[in-house]
Chain A
Amino acid sequence: MGFELTRPQKDIQKAVREYVKGEFKREVIEELTEKNQFPEALWKKAADLGFIGIHFPETCSGQDLGLLENALVAEALCTGDSTVGAGLSLSGFASETLLRFGTEEQKSTWLPKVAEGEILSCGAFTESGCGYDLNVKGTTAVKDGDHWVINGSKNFVINSGPLAGFYIVLCRTKADAKPETNGLSLILVESDRPGISISDVGPKTGFNLMHCADVDFSDVQVPISNTIGKENRGFFHASDIVCENRILIAAQAVGIAQGAYDRALSYVKSRKMFGRKLSQFQVTEHKIAEMAAKIEMTRLLVYKAASSCDAGPVDPKIASMAKMCATRAAIEVADEAIQLLGGYGYMTEYEVERYYRDAKITQIIEGSCETQKDTIADALLKKRGKNR
C-alpha cells in the first residue's frame, strides 16, 4: 500500500502552486472579494493551463486523468485562496453527469467549452423543501413530440449567472413511478433557452465569488436528445455524481484548512506578545500541532476517497466520510487560525475570516453533516440499501 503521490500527480500540484503564486495577486483578490465578482481572468488562465476538467478525456480538452488529480488541483487552488479556488474548481460543476453518462456527441459538444473556460456549468438538482435526498417533486419534464417541456424551480444553483452555459436539470419524468426514485431524469438545458429566469441569491455565508441563483423553468423546450444517461434513471445518475462532488468539496476543504494554517503559522512566528513570539507559547505550539494533524488526517481520507472512486465502483460511504471529516476539520482549523491572529483574524484584510466562512459553506453544500451521516449509516446498517 503506497501513500506517495505519483510523479505526475506531484507535478500537477507543483504546476497549480506555481500558477497560484504567479497569478493570485493580493490586490486582484481584494478587488474581486470587495465587488463579489467571479474571477473571470483567473478562470480563463486556469483553463489555459489545463486545470479545469483535468479529468475529462483528451478529446474533450481534458487530460484523461481522474478524480484524485482533480481533487489535487482543487486543494492547491483553495490553499492559494479559498474563495477564488472554490470558484475555479467548481466551474465545471455537474459536468461529470455528461462525463459519466453522456453520449459522445453530448460530451464533445459541451465538455471542451467547460475545460477551455468558455462557459460555466450548473447542476440544478435541489428544490425548496426537499432537503438533500434528491427525490424532486416540483420540477417536471413532459414529452411533447420530440421535445421535453420543463416546468419548475430549483434553488441555490451554483454558477447560474451570465457565464452559465448549460444546466443539468433533475426532473420528474414519470409521475406514477414506484418507488418515486424510478421516475426522474437528467436533462441538459442550454442557458439561452426561452423560459429560463434566474434570480441571484445575493450575498452568501461564503464562496462569494461564485454565482448562485434560484432558477425558474417555465415551459422550457429542449429536444429529447438532451436527456443525459437513461431516461428515468436520473436519480441514480445524480446520486453517483453527488459522491464525486462530495469528494471534490472535501478536497477544497483540505485546501482551505491548509491555507488558513499557512497564514496562521506565519503570523505566530512574527507576532510578539509579553516579550516573546506567539509561536514560543506552549499553547500556540499545541494549537499548531492540532491543526497540522487535522489537515494530515483528512487529507489522507480525501485522497483515499478520490482514488477509490477512480478505481470504482463509487462508494457513497467513503465519499460522505471524506466530506464530513474534511469540512469539519476545515472549520476547526480556520476557526483556530482566526483565534491565533486575534483582532487581526477578525479583519477582512488578514483573509482567515474568509477561509472560515468558506469552510462553513463546504460543510453545508452537497449535504450537511447530518446528511453525510445518514448516507454512511445507510451503507453500514443497510437500512435503505439499494435506493442510495
Chain B
Amino acid sequence: MDVLQYTDAHQQFREHARTFLANEVIPFVDQWEKDKIVPRDIWRSIGKAGLLCTTVPELYQGPGHDFLHAVIVNEELSRTNHYGLMASLHSDIIAPYIATFGSEEQKHKYLPGCVSGDIVLALAMTEPDAGSDVASMTATAVEEGDEIVIDGAKTFISNGIHCDLVVVAAKDPAVENPHAAVSLYLVEDGTPGFNKGNKLDKMGMYSQDTSELFFSGCRIPKENLLGTKGQGFIMLMKKLQQERLVCSIMAVATAEHVCRQMLSHCKTSSVSGKPICKSQSIQFKLVEIATDVQIGRSFLDQLIADHMEGKDVNTQTSMAKYWTCEMVNRVVRESLDILGMEAVTENCHLVRTFRDVRVMPIFAGTSEVMKVIVAKNLGF
C-alpha cells in the first residue's frame, strides 16, 4: 500500500500543475537564468493558476487544499530545471508564519495577496554573521510609541528583490536572554528605511533573486508584530519541521528527475557505437543512483504522511534534510561523470542542476547543523 494516498483529484491537480509549468514556465527558464531573475508577473500567473499557498483556507481566499497539494506543486516545480520561481518557499515555508501566527486582521490583509501572487514573501532571518545561530542575531526592534523601529542587515534572502512583504526576525535590545529577545515583524516593501540590496552572485540558482536586505530606522506600526512579542525564536523552531520537509521534497524530486533523464539517456545514446548502458560500470552507477533515489523517496513519503498527521518528526526531518540534500548532489555529480565530455558546457542542462543543487545542503541549516540537532535529539 502506498504511504501517501493520492486521490483522483490530486492526480488531476498534478496534471494541471504540470501543464501550467510546461506552458508558462519551462519555455522561458533559459531566458530567466540569463536575466538572473524571474519576471514579477510569473508570480501572478502561477497564483492565478491556483498553485500558490495551496493550503491557505478559503476564508482567506485560498484553495484550502491538504498538504499533498503543496507537495505536488513542489515536486512539479523541481522538474522545471530552475529554482528561480521558488513558490514552495513562499507558499509552504513563509506564508504559514502568517497563517499560523498572524492576527485575523493580518491574515485578511495579506493572505489573499499571497494566494494570488500579488504579494511575494521573503523571510529575513539570516545575517552576515548569524545563520542558524539565531542567538547571535544583531538586528534590533525597538518600540517607540505606536511604532516599532527596525535596524540591521540581513543576507542570503531568497525572493529578496521581488518581495512585497518580509517576515523579519529582530531582537529587543532590552531583553538579555537572546532566545526571549527575538520577535517577528511584517515589513512591507516601500516602508521608509527598508532597502533591498544588490542581487548576490551565486554558483547557481541564477534566476532566484537572492539578496541582502537593509533596515535603517525602519518604522512600522505596532500591529505589524507577528504573533506574541518575544516568541520569535519559538515560532521559528515550530516552523522548521515543515521547512526541512519542503527542502527534502525539492531534493528528492530533483534527484528523481535527474535519474529519469539519465536512465533514458544511457539507453538511447552511444559512445563509439555502443549504447552507454551496455557498460557494466555505468549500469552499476545507474543502479546506485536509482537506489539512492528510491531510499530518499520512501523515507520522504513516510515523513510527509507523519507530518500531515501532525506528528513531531523534527528529528527525522533533520535527518532527511541532510541526507536527501547530499543525495541529490551525489546523484548529479555521478550523472555528470556518466555524461563525460557532454557535461563540459552549459548546453548540458544537468550542468545547471549541478550548480543549483549545491546550495541544498547549505540553505535552511547546513548538513552539519542538522546533525547537531539530531545528535541532541538522540540524547547526546
Cβ-based interface call for A296 (8 A): no
Instruction: Please tell me if the beta carbons of A205 and B346 are within 8 angstroms of each other in the complex.
Output: yes
A residues 184-209 in Cβ contact with B at 8 Å: 201-205
A274, A339, A343, A365: which contacts B133 (Cβ < 8 A)?
A274
The chain A residue with its CB closest to the CB of B346 is A203
Cβ-based interface call for A273 (8 A): yes
A131, A201, A204, A343: which contacts B156 (Cβ < 8 A)?
A343
Cβ-based interface call for B140 (8 A): no
Binds A, one of B59-67, B144-152, B196-204, B216-224: B196-204
- A201 to B272 alpha-carbon distance, docked (Å): 22
Cβ-based interface call for A96 (8 A): no
Instruction: Please tell me if the beta carbons of A339 and B366 are within 8 angstroms of each other in the complex.
Output: yes
For A209-233 the 0/1 string (1 means CB < 8 A from B) is: 0001000000000000000000000
Instruction: Please tell me if the beta carbons of B347 and A357 are within 8 angstroms of each other in the complex.
Output: no
Chain B: minimal CB distance from A336 (Å): 11
Instruction: Please tell me if the beta carbons of A135 and B272 are within 8 angstroms of each other in the complex.
Output: yes
CB-CB under 8 A for A343 and B131, given A130-B272, A370-B281:
yes
Instruction: Please tell me if the beta carbons of A204 and B344 are within 8 angstroms of each other in the complex.
Output: yes
Instruction: Please tell me if the beta carbons of B271 and A131 are within 8 angstroms of each other in the complex.
Output: yes
Instruction: Please tell me if the beta carbons of B129 and A272 are within 8 angstroms of each other in the complex.
Output: yes
CB-CB under 8 A for A349 and B343, given A135-B272, A338-B358, A343-B362:
no
Residue among A354, A357, A373 with max Cβ neighbours from chain B (10 Å): A357
The chain B residue with its CB closest to the CB of A354 is B203
Cβ-based interface call for A236 (8 A): no
The chain B residue with its CB closest to the CB of A204 is B345
Q: Which residues of A contact B371 (CB under 8 A)?
A: 283
Chain A: minimal CB distance from B338 (Å): 8
B155, B336, B340: which contacts A343 (Cβ < 8 A)?
B155
For B347-362 the 0/1 string (1 means CB < 8 A from A) is: 1000100110011011
- A202 to B200 alpha-carbon distance, docked (Å): 23
CB-CB under 8 A for A343 and B344, given A353-B203, A370-B279, A370-B281:
no
Instruction: Please tell me if the beta carbons of A273 and B346 are within 8 angstroms of each other in the complex.
Output: no
Residue among A201, A338, A343 with max Cβ neighbours from chain B (10 Å): A343
Q: Which residues of B contact A255 (CB under 8 A)?
A: none
Chain A: minimal CB distance from B40 (Å): 24
Q: Which residues of A contact B333 (CB under 8 A)?
A: 331, 360
Q: Which residues of B contact A357 (CB under 8 A)?
A: 203, 355
Cβ-based interface call for B378 (8 A): no
Q: Which residues of A contact B273 (CB under 8 A)?
A: 129
A126, A203, A283, A353: which contacts B358 (Cβ < 8 A)?
A353
Instruction: Please tell me if the beta carbons of A342 and B362 are within 8 angstroms of each other in the complex.
Output: yes
Instruction: Please tell me if the beta carbons of A364 and B344 are within 8 angstroms of each other in the complex.
Output: yes
Instruction: Please tell me if the beta carbons of B201 and A348 are within 8 angstroms of each other in the complex.
Output: yes
Cβ-based interface call for A356 (8 A): yes
A residues 358-388 in Cβ contact with B at 8 Å: 360-361, 363-365, 368-371, 373
For B256-271 the 0/1 string (1 means CB < 8 A from A) is: 0000000000000011
Instruction: Please tell me if the beta carbons of A347 and B200 are within 8 angstroms of each other in the complex.
Output: yes
Instruction: Please tell me if the beta carbons of B362 and A373 are within 8 angstroms of each other in the complex.
Output: no
CB-CB under 8 A for A343 and B203, given A133-B272, A203-B346, A370-B281:
no
- A335 to B271 alpha-carbon distance, docked (Å): 29
Q: Which residues of B contact A347 (CB under 8 A)?
A: 200-203
State the total of A-B contacts with C-beta under 8 angstroms: 116
Q: Which residues of B contact A201 (CB under 8 A)?
A: 344-345, 347
- A368 to B336 alpha-carbon distance, docked (Å): 10
Instruction: Please tell me if the beta carbons of A346 and B341 are within 8 angstroms of each other in the complex.
Output: no
The chain A residue with its CB closest to the CB of B347 is A202
Q: Which residues of A contact B336 (CB under 8 A)?
A: 205, 360, 364
The chain A residue with its CB closest to the CB of B367 is A339
Cβ-based interface call for B99 (8 A): no
Chain A: minimal CB distance from B243 (Å): 15
For A112-136 the 0/1 string (1 means CB < 8 A from B) is: 0000000000000010011111010
Cβ-based interface call for A167 (8 A): no
Instruction: Please tell me if the beta carbons of B156 and A368 are within 8 angstroms of each other in the complex.
Output: no
Cβ-based interface call for B282 (8 A): yes
The chain B residue with its CB closest to the CB of A131 is B271
Chain B: minimal CB distance from A317 (Å): 18
Cβ-based interface call for A345 (8 A): yes
Q: Which residues of B contact A335 (CB under 8 A)?
A: 329, 358
Q: Which residues of B contact A338 (CB under 8 A)?
A: 203, 358, 362
Cβ-based interface call for B337 (8 A): yes
The chain B residue with its CB closest to the CB of A363 is B337
For B16-38 the 0/1 string (1 means CB < 8 A from A) is: 00000000000000000000000
Cβ-based interface call for B126 (8 A): yes
Instruction: Please tell me if the beta carbons of A131 and B340 are within 8 angstroms of each other in the complex.
Output: yes
Q: Which residues of A contact B155 (CB under 8 A)?
A: 343
Contacts A342-B131, A368-B340 aside, 15 further interface pairs with beta carbons under 8 A come to A129-B272, A202-B345, A203-B345, A204-B346, A205-B336, A273-B132, A339-B366, A347-B200, A353-B203, A353-B358, A356-B203, A360-B336, A365-B344, A370-B279, A370-B282
25 contacts between A and B (CB under 8 A): A129-B273, A130-B272, A131-B272, A132-B340, A201-B344, A205-B354, A272-B136, A273-B131, A273-B136, A335-B358, A338-B362, A339-B361, A342-B131, A343-B156, A343-B362, A345-B362, A346-B203, A346-B362, A347-B203, A348-B203, A349-B201, A353-B358, A356-B203, A361-B344, A369-B337
Q: Which 5 A-B pairs have the closest CB atoms?
A: A353-B203, A348-B201, A131-B271, A203-B346, A343-B156
